[in-house]
């Protein structure tokens, strides 16, 4: 049941992101989120949600994530670790570019029972040139 709930959280995130719903996309992340991506070592939920809102609001740029390729989910009590690959397609100025992002997410069960990402690390071997 926990694995299915985590998969559902990713599915809802993908739908929200692809619809340009920054608030819905931010719902996946715990209030105490800390993350690391290229150029950000100790990112916060506030930073991430602000960046999502800015990127989604860029005129002339369309971003779409495929559902993640989940390689592994390990659940231990109220903590879960997910190893996955995201595929991002960006469209701008008549051009399309697709890139992959490797990541590891640490979920914690929240007081309301939902699984949320509390920590994550993600990287790509080639940045998407069309992402502002």
Of 84, 62, 72, give the one whose Cα is nearest residue 128.
62
First-residue to last-residue Cα distance in the chain: 38
Which pLDDT tens digit goes with each residue over 59-110?
998 999 999 999 999 999 999 999 999 999 999 888 899 999 999 999 999 9
Answer yes or no: is pLDDT of 127 > 70.
no
Query: What is the pTM for the complete model shown?
Result: 0.89
Looking at residue 130, what is its pLDDT?
60
Looking at residue 105, what is its pLDDT?
98
């Amino acid at each position: 049941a926990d694995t299915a709930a985590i998969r559902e959280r990713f599915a809802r995130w993908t739908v929200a992101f692809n619809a340009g719903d920054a608030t819905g996309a931010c719902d996946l992340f715990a209030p105490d989120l800390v993350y690391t991506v290229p150029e950000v070592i100790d990112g916060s939920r506030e930073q991430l949600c602000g960046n999502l809102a800015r990127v989604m609001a860029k005129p002339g740029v369309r971003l779409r994530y495929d559902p993640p390729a989940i390689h592994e989910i390990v659940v231990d009590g109220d903590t879960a670790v997910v190893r996955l690959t995201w595929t991002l397609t960006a469209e701008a100025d008549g051009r399309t570019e697709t890139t992959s992002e490797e990541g590891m997410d640490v979920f914690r069960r929240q007081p309301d029972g939902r699984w949320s990402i509390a920590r994550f690390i993600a990287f790509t071997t080639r940045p998407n040139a069309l992402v502002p």
